[in-house]
Amino acid sequence: MDVVEAINNQRAVTARRAFTWRTIFYGFMRSRRRNLRREIDAEVVFLDWHHPWLFFLAVGTMLLSCLDAFMTLQLLERGMVEVNPVMAAILGRGTTAFAVSKMLLTGTSILILVFLAKSRFLNRFRTGLFLTAFFTIYACLACYEFVQLIADM
């Protein structure tokens, strides 16, 4: 009985399912569930692996959101007005509240869209297309704000 307890204790210390940075890297690079296993699983929308394009869109949208927040604050200092009524109300509470709420709203939305990227909205559009649309809108907004900042100099 002592040998069995020693083996169990040894397994508990060196569990093969220990969570490390290697686990994250390995899971990211070598995810197993890339495709559906059976035809009956055609409705499954949650896979372990997402296309790298979704990663680009998610990170790009978040970076553009940060750039938008920074340039919005710069433009507000130069006399421009916030058009979005929700963000204008949050700006009334201060720049920290504005930046935090903008990052939380954008980050949460991106996570939801990536999680549901394979599902269909109204049985027509893949949800991942919304991430592409948000990225495009943020890119256009950042270009507009950049032009406004240069014109003000």
User: For 61-73, how does the pLDDT look when each residue is reduced to its tens digit (9 = 90+)?
Assistant: 999 999 999 999 9
pLDDT in tens, 96-131: 999 999 999 999 999 888 887 777 777 777 777 888
| Residues 6+ away with beta carbon under 8 Å from 87 | 72, 98, 101, 102
Q: Distance of CA 113 to CAs 17, 35, 38, 57, 98, Å?
A: 29, 19, 25, 11, 22
Q: Which of 136, 134, 118, 115 is nearest to 126 (CA)?
A: 118
51 φ, ψ (degrees, to nearest 5): -65, 140
pLDDT at position 53: 82
pLDDT at position 109: 92
H/E stretch holding 125: strand 125-126
- With beta carbons less than 8 A apart as the criterion, state whether 149 and 71 touch: yes
Read off the pLDDT of each residue in 3-29 and give the average, rounded to a whole number: 61
pLDDT at position 4: 62
pLDDT at position 55: 87
Q: 99 is written with which tokens?
A: 């930046």
State the Cα–Cα distance between residues 119 and 95, nearest whole angstrom.
36
